[in-house]
A and B are shown apart, each in its own frame.
Chain A
Amino acid sequence: MQDKDTSAPGGSMPHKLIDGSFLFILAIAVVSGIAVYLLKGPETFWAIFRRDAGFAVFLLPKILAGVLIASALPFLLPRERVLRLVGPESGVRGLAIATAAGAIFPGGPSVTYPLTIGLMAAGADLGAGVALVSGWVLVGLNRTLIWELSFLPPEFVALRVALSLPAPIVFGLVVRHLMAKGRA
């Protein structure tokens, strides 16, 4: 068995600065950038570039705060405690905790993903990581209260949230099941 995969289980800290994922998004940016330049003209190209590059700069202070929190967490939370709360053996309760953390924590993608990386470095398993991200995307308080309720009927929003609530836990259980089967 040749195992060249050096990544830690569950993926803890980013290791390589340039990896396949980065090259993939770089290729998408270059190809679609050229397409926009040719199809929509240089003005549109530069307008989009300025808008989104500016947004990235605007996000930086928030990202830095999120990364500081994510970096400090593994040092503040004892590994045994994280393992007990959201580790591989934490059961449905651990997945519910991860879901709630994802739903409550404010900050959007630039903060939630570093937080997930931080918690997984501190002992959370892949199932809990998926439950956390799913809790945020499906029933994130900030998005639901501020955005969804402003646009869609409250009865619809309430129904959607109620139906979605168990999903992150189910996802986490399925991931744990897949992992157990893959590793057994």
Chain B
Amino acid sequence: MNIAIGTVLLWALALELLRRLRRQDPARLVPVYARTRAMMVFMIPRIFVGLVGAGFLAALLPVDQIERFFGAESGVAGMGLATILGAVTPGGPFVAFAIGAAALKAGAGWAALMAYVTAWSVVNLNRSIAYELPLMGRRFLMIRALVSLPLPLVLGGIMLLV
């Protein structure tokens, strides 16, 4: 449902942009369509292989046991573990937030939860394989991951202090 609404919104925006372009100069639509075609040819095999590969990889990871690892082990070690778990948690937001909620119920602290959700957001293995690496390339992914990596520990650390 969410996807359907997003798709309708995006199509409305896309058609409006194309209408404007055509009013300015219909000839400008030609390179836009050529660019769109080139990009779709580039993206379709990547999205297909990326999604299926991430799906297989996710099946090999014991997702249903992730919240067990949060446990009582808190402090810096717990945050480090939560960061790794966040990075490898596969699936969409539904999975990660459900695991976070389950961990909270099982007694996880806010520091570990903060590190977990933040790591899942910024250095997400699943999303990197399914989308970012194939679409943006290795350089973009490596630089973004490099500068983002400290954030889960920094935010978790702030939670430990307050």
Q: Do A and B come from one complex?
A: yes
Chain A residues within 8 Å of B, Cβ to Cβ? 7, 11, 13-14, 17, 19-22, 24-26, 28-30, 32-33, 35-36, 39-40, 44-45, 48-49, 51-53, 55-56, 58-73, 75-76, 106-111, 113-114, 116-117, 126, 129-130, 133-134, 137-138, 142-143, 146-148, 150-153, 156, 159-160, 163-164, 167, 171, 174-175, 178
Instruction: Report chain A residues within 8 Å CB of B42.
Output: 14, 17
Q: Would A25 and B55 count as touching, CB distance under 8 A?
A: no
User: Once bound together, how far apart are the Cα atoms of A44 and B3, in whole Å?
Assistant: 26
CB distance from A15 to the nearest CB of B (A): 9
Chain B, interface residues (CB within 8 Å), range = 35 or more
What are 11 A-B contacts defined by CB distance under 8 Å? A19-B137, A25-B129, A25-B133, A32-B53, A48-B52, A72-B18, A107-B6, A114-B43, A138-B118, A152-B113, A156-B110
Query: Which single residue of chain A is at the shortest CB-CB distance from B143?
Result: A175
Q: Would B53 and A35 count as touching, CB distance under 8 A?
A: no
CB distance from A53 to the nearest CB of B (A): 6
User: Once bound together, how far apart are the Cα atoms of A70 and B41, in whole Å?
Assistant: 15
Task: Choose one: B60, B135, B158; the contact of A117 (CB below 8 Å).
Answer: B135
Contact with A along B105-124 (1 / 0, CB 8 A): 00000100110011001101
User: Once bound together, how far apart are the Cα atoms of A60 and B137, in whole Å?
Assistant: 21
One of B62-70, B71-79, B93-101 at the interface = B93-101
Q: Would A32 and B138 count as touching, CB distance under 8 A?
A: no
Q: Would B31 and A137 count as touching, CB distance under 8 A?
A: no
Q: Would A24 and B133 count as touching, CB distance under 8 A?
A: yes
Task: Choose one: B38, B49, B59, B139; the contact of A40 (CB below 8 Å).
Answer: B59
Task: Choose one: B32, B50, B59, B114; the contact of A68 (CB below 8 Å).
Answer: B32
Q: Would A75 and B60 count as touching, CB distance under 8 A?
A: no
Q: Would B55 and A21 count as touching, CB distance under 8 A?
A: no
User: Once bound together, how far apart are the Cα atoms of A116 and B4, in whole Å?
Assistant: 22
Q: Would B51 and A55 count as touching, CB distance under 8 A?
A: yes
Task: Choose one: B57, B130, B158; the contact of A32 (CB below 8 Å).
Answer: B57
Contact with A along B1-17 (1 / 0, CB 8 A): 01100110111011001
Query: Which single residue of chain A is at the shortest CB-CB distance from B57?
Result: A32
User: Once bound together, how far apart are the Cα atoms of A166 and B100, in whole Å?
Assistant: 23
Instruction: Report chain A residues within 8 Å CB of B59.
Output: 32, 36, 40, 44, 48
Q: Would A53 and B48 count as touching, CB distance under 8 A?
A: yes
Task: Choose one: B98, B133, B134, B155; the contact of A160 (CB below 8 Å).
Answer: B155
Seed contacts A65-B7, A70-B39; 14 additional CB < 8 Å A-B pairs:
A11-B140, A13-B39, A22-B134, A25-B134, A36-B60, A39-B60, A58-B3, A63-B40, A67-B36, A114-B43, A129-B140, A152-B117, A163-B155, A164-B155
